[in-house]
Amino acid sequence: RQQPQDFHEPPHELSSIKKVIGVVSGKGGVGKSMTSAMLAVLMNRRGYHSAVLDADITGPSIPKLFGIHTRAVADELGCYPVRSRTGVDVMSVNLMLDNETDPVVWRGPVIAGAVKQFWQEVIWKDVDFMFVDMPPGTGDVPLTVFQTLPVDGIIVVTSPQELVGLIVEKAVKMANMMNVPILGIVENMSYAVCPDCGKKLYVFGESHVQEIAARYHLPVLAQCPIDPELAKQADLGVIESFETDHLDKAADVVEALLKE
Ligand code: ADP
C-alpha cells in the first residue's frame, strides 16, 4: 500500500522548511489562529525562525493578528511571504486580495489549490517551524492540505463549549489516515480569572479535555484562560507583544520535533 506521504508535493526549490505543524479545530472561533500565531511568536522568541501559512482561506485572520496590512510581492522566481515586526514569515490569502475586506467565495477545489500554491510557489527561506492554520473541521480542504504538505505533527485546539470527544476522535482518525502524529490538545478559553479575587471562573462549565485526552493517549498541552488583554492585543494587531506562559508546554513539544 502506498503511504499518503508519497503524494506530498515538493515546496519551492528555494524554500527550506524544517518542520511543519498543522493546527486544527472542530469549528471556528475557538482560538486556532491565535494558537498558530502565538506558537510562531514563541518559537521566534526561542531563537528559531518561524512562519505561518494561513490555510484558513475563507476565514483568514493571521495577518490581522500580526498587524500586517501590506501585500505579498512576487518576482520571476516566486512569491514572498510578508515578514512581521519580529520576523515571523506570513502568507495568507488576505495578502493577495486587492482589498483585505473582500470575501473569499471559492469552492473547495479552488481553496485547496490556493493552499497548494502557498506551499509550492512561495519562497519560504530558512524556516525552522511552519505553523499551518488549517480550515476548521475535517472536510476536503484539510484533507488536501495533509496530502500536499508533509505535516510533521498536529495540534488540536478546542474550547470547553465544544463536543471535544467528537472533535478529538475525528482528528485522531484523520491523523491516522495521513500517518501524522497528534502532538497534543490545546484547550482555549478554559476559564476566566476574576480581576478582583483571582478566582478561576469556569464560564463554559467543567472541562472534559483531560479525560478525552487520556482516552486517546494524548497530552493536554495547555489550558489557556479567556484573557481580555489577549483579545485586545489581537484586535490591535500586536499579538507579538503579548506575554504568556500558557503555551510553553506546547512550544516545548514543537521544539522537540527538531531534536528527534
Ligand atoms: P479560530 O481561528 O479558531 O476561528 P481565533 O483564533 O480567530 O479563532 O479566535 C477567535 C476570537 O477569539 C478572536 O477575536 C481572538 O482574538 C479571540 N480569542 C482567542 N483566544 C482568546 C483568549 N484566550 N482570550 C481572549 N480572546 C481570545
Residues 21-38 pLDDT 10s:
999 998 888 999 999 999
- For the question of whether the overall pTM of this predicted structure is more than 0.80, the answer is yes
Judged against a pLDDT cut of 60, whether residue 4 lies above it is answered with no
Which pLDDT belongs to residue 253? 98
CB of 187 shorter than 6 A to ligand 1: no
CATH number among 3.40.50.300, 3.65.10.10, 3.30.1360.10, 3.40.50.980, domain 14-258: 3.40.50.300
**Atom 6 (ligand 1): residue with closest C-alpha?**
31
The rounded distance, in Å, linking the Cα atoms of 108 and 126 is 30
Which pLDDT belongs to residue 103? 77
Rg of the chain over Cα atoms, rounded to whole angstroms, equals 18
**Atom 23 (ligand 1): residue with closest C-alpha?**
226
CB of 39 shorter than 6 A to ligand 1: no
Strand, coil or helix: 218:
coil
Which pLDDT belongs to residue 177? 86
**Atom 15 (ligand 1): residue with closest C-alpha?**
231
Atom of ligand 1 nearest to the CA of 227: 24
Largest Cα–Cα distance of the chain, in whole Å?
60
Please name the amino acid found at residue 116.
K
CB of 20 shorter than 6 A to ligand 1: no
Residue 131 and residue 39 in contact, taking contact as beta carbons nearer than 8 Å:
yes
Beta bridge partners of 222: 186
CB of 29 shorter than 6 A to ligand 1: yes
Q: Is 172 exposed, middle or buried (0-12, 13-18, 19+ CB in 10 A)?
A: middle
Atom of ligand 1 nearest to the CA of 189: 23
Which pLDDT belongs to residue 151? 94
Which pLDDT belongs to residue 6? 52
The domain limits of the chain are 14-258
For a mutational test of ligand 1's pocket, the pick from 34, 193, 223, i.e. the residue with the most ligand atoms closer than 8 A to its C-beta, is 34
Judged against a pLDDT cut of 90, whether residue 141 lies above it is answered with no
Write out the DSSP string of 24-87. EESSTTSSHHHHHHHHHHHHHHTT--EEEEE--TTS--HHHHHT--S---B-SS-B-PEE-TTS
Q: What is the pLDDT of residues 227-247, one digit of tens each?
A: 999 999 999 999 999 999 999
Q: What is the pLDDT of residues 102-120, one digit of tens each?
A: 778 788 888 888 999 999 9
Q: What is the pLDDT of residues 146-202, one digit of tens each?
A: 888 999 999 999 998 877 788 888 888 888 888 899 999 999 999 999 999 999 999
Ligand 1 center to 156 CA (angstroms)? 14
Which pLDDT belongs to residue 142? 84
Which pLDDT belongs to residue 2? 43
The rounded distance, in Å, linking the Cα atoms of 9 and 157 is 26
